[in-house]
Amino acid sequence: MQTLEAILEHLAHQLETLYEAPEARTIAEWTLQHALRVGRFELLRRRKEEASDELQNQVQGYLERLLEHEPLQYVLGEASFYGREFAVTPAVLIPRPETEELVQRVIRTYQHRPDIKLLDIGTGSGCIPITLAAELPNARVWGLDISAEALAVAKANGQKMAPQVAWLRHDILQEIPAMEPESLDAVISNPPYVLEEEKGQMRQNVLGFEPHLALFVPNEDPLLFYRRIAMVAQQLLKKGGKLYFEINERFAEETLEMLKEMGYQEIKVYKDLRGKDRVSEAVWE
């Protein structure tokens, strides 16, 4: 029988055909940790332990999918976000660290405010509204998406972590959600913002597996969703309410200019941990 250490080395070696060695090693460790349901230090402590046939078969199944470029999070069925584990499927985008920065900014703004109402548009896995509801227990939170498959994932995550979140299926490009006008304290969105022309620059594990509906926007109208969501927010936000976007750094200036032309005030943009323009904030007066 193989030891856990031998399985780990085999995983890392095989994954080096797709990834640089450090990334391959990290993916191998995460895969084995998931299979064993242990943390990194526990895995290292048990590395000389012999692996069961069942474990070896399970890990081999994961490896075969990983070698087909399938993202690790889809293979394992979960992704970490703001300290919680969210179920993910190919119906939803994999949560990114940049989106944690968007959520953190909203939490900082409203953590001492009672009775607030927040709407997330394009909710996907539900990571944004669920995290907001969990971190802001005095808030009423809604998550909206056009995809029934995505909402099914979001609702399942919500039941485990924040059952108070309400879910809406809606095509934001077609009509305004049936919510009370001027009732929300904030609208939050990480909408599609990757141009169709950028497909050639993307990794196969993103392009081949993550939902294009949630990723791409037409080349000729990169601000399509931002403009529409900003229009919807004009109807739903209270006076003094805020609109938060995760933005494409290529179009930061255009996004801010659009918000200014639409009458938003106190418009700001914040850089992410990699120094790229990533989060915009604007006030509706």
Say if 242 falls within a structural domain: yes
Q: Please list the residues that pair with 217 across neighbouring strands.
A: 195
Cβ atoms < 10 Å from Cβ of 38 = 15
Percent of the chain clearing pLDDT 70 (strictly above): 90
Same domain, 44 and 105: no
Q: Locate tokens 């995505």: which residue?
A: 150
Token representation of residue 141:
């939170």
pLDDT at 13: 96
Nearest Cα residue to 227 out of 184, 171, 172 = 172
pLDDT for 221 equals 75
Scanning the structure block, which residue is given the tokens 């099914």? 152
Say how far apart CA 214 and CA 131 lie, in whole Å. Answer: 19
Mean pLDDT is lowest, of 7-21, 86-100, 150-164, 211-225, for 211-225
Distance CA 90, CA 133 (A): 24
- Say how far apart CA 75 and CA 65 lie, in whole Å: 7
Q: Are residues 120 and 23 in the same domain?
A: no
The whole domain housing 203 covers 91-284
Cα–Cα dist 221/224, whole Å: 5
Question: What's 117's domain CATH number?
Answer: 3.40.50.150
pLDDT at 214 over 80: no
Res. 224 pLDDT band, cuts 50 70 90:
confident
User: Is 60 exceeded by the pLDDT of residue 126?
Assistant: yes
Same domain, 59 and 100: no
Structure tokens belonging to residue 218: 């037409």
Q: Answer whether residue 139 is part of any domain.
A: yes
Q: What is the pLDDT of residues 79-99, one digit of tens each?
A: 999 999 999 999 999 999 999
The answer to whether 272 touches 279, Cβ cutoff 8 Å, is: yes
Average pLDDT across the chain, whole number: 91
- Give the pLDDT band (50/70/90) at residue 219: low
Q: Are residues 160 and 52 in the same domain?
A: no
Q: 128 pLDDT exceeds 70?
A: yes
**Which residue did the predictor score with more confidence, 250 or 111?**
111
Reported pTM: 0.90
pLDDT of 196 reads 63
Whether 61 and 119 map to the same domain: the answer is no
Task: Measure the CA–CA gap between 93 and 90, rounded to whole angstroms.
Answer: 7
pLDDT in tens, 181-195: 999 999 999 987 666
98 within 8 A of 278, measured Cβ to Cβ: yes
